[in-house]
Amino acid sequence: MNSGFRLSVAIPIHNEESVLPELLTRLMGVLDKVQGGPHELLFVDDGSTDGTLALLEEAAQRDSRIMVLSLSRNFGHQAALTAALDHVTGDATVLMDGDLQDEPESIPRLLEKFFEGHDVVYAQRTRRKEAWPLRLSYYVFYRLMARLSDMKLPLDAGDFALMSRRVVEHLQRLQEHHRYLRGLRSWVGFRQIGVPIERSQRHSGRSKYSVFRLLKLASDGIFAFSIVPIRAAAILGAISIGLSGLFAVYTIFAKLFLNQTPKGFTALLLLITFLSGILLFFLGVIGEYVGRIYEESKGRPIYIIGRLIGGGNRPDLLFQQRENLSQRNSRR
């Protein structure tokens, strides 16, 4: 292992006051065993309303390796991940959640694959501990997403991953406002490999991803990496036209040669109602794409930093943030 190697561990965090002491203890224990350094531990506080920020500030004062970016409000998990990636400086970066479902002790396994020459080493979640309806939803979503996407996406891979410096730099250049980072990570390319890692239970507290937020994340992934929903509208429309044409031919044949008039007022109402529902549904799909174009056209930043805590040896942080925002805006 290279003695000059520098690792960054970036963690978005929101209202995890009860988890932080255990998380910090375990992370520091892992970083102390990684050769090279000085390593970096970057927390992005995503608008916490409990004592999370105070605990992070205290930790940053005790250990110079810890830095905290406090966002001006809650911008969401993917925005916090983006802020983290914009400000890490290590030769490799580990992204992980702060609820201890991503175990810090798994980091050395990711590093092994990195030093074998892989640019992205992602954790493939196994033996999840959530309730079975949620596990089933995750299982179906990942496979549906893989089928719909125009590119190959790994199954059961979350945000917990290690990325090389060049992958991080390419991710910093991407402009999407509605971000699905695990898809963007695959889109960048380079050598990627998965490592099966058992998904732990939350240490304490409850998940910050409500059903609505999970659905939003799923829609961000589908609409960002697939135009299959729009194609499905065209295909269904073509099938409807074909079936209607066949029925019209049958109607004419029955009237001219069989002296019969097709009946079925109830069936006609059901058909009109069904096709009207399909039409409204796909208008909503098209509206979703148009709405995302509208959101992107505004050119608003993905996040705003309220405070920088620690990082006394990192005066370049705010300059780097301004530079990243300037580059994003110049490409719009």
Least confident of 59-68, 256-265, 321-330: 321-330
241 — alpha (psi -120 to 50), left (phi > 0) or beta? alpha
Q: What are phi and psi of 322, to 5 degrees?
A: -60, -40
Q: Specify the higher pLDDT residue, 203 or 38.
A: 38
Question: Is residue 79 over pLDDT 70?
Answer: yes
Between β-strands 157-164 and 120-126, what pairing exists: parallel, antiparallel or unpaired?
A: antiparallel
Instruction: For residues 179 and 192, give the distance between their C-alpha atoms in angstroms, rounded to a whole number.
Output: 20
CA distances from 158 to 10, 88, 183, 205, 230 (A): 15, 20, 10, 20, 26
Cβ–Cβ < 8 Å for 46, 78: no
The confidence band for 326, taking pLDDT boundaries of 50, 70 and 90, is very low
292 — alpha (psi -120 to 50), left (phi > 0) or beta? alpha
Question: Is residue 209 over pLDDT 60?
Answer: no
Q: Supply the pLDDT for residue 315.
A: 44
Least confident of 113-127, 130-144, 283-297: 130-144
Least confident of 104-113, 185-194, 272-281: 272-281
CA angle (83 as vertex; 81, 87 as ends), nearest 5? 115
Q: pLDDT averaged over the chain?
A: 77
Instruction: Note if the pTM is more than 0.85.
Output: no
Q: Supply the pLDDT for residue 329.
A: 46
Q: Supply the pLDDT for residue 146.
A: 66
Residues 3-29 as b or e (16 or more Cβ within 10 Å = b)? eebbbbbbbbbbbbbbbbeebbeebbe
Q: Supply the pLDDT for residue 322.
A: 47
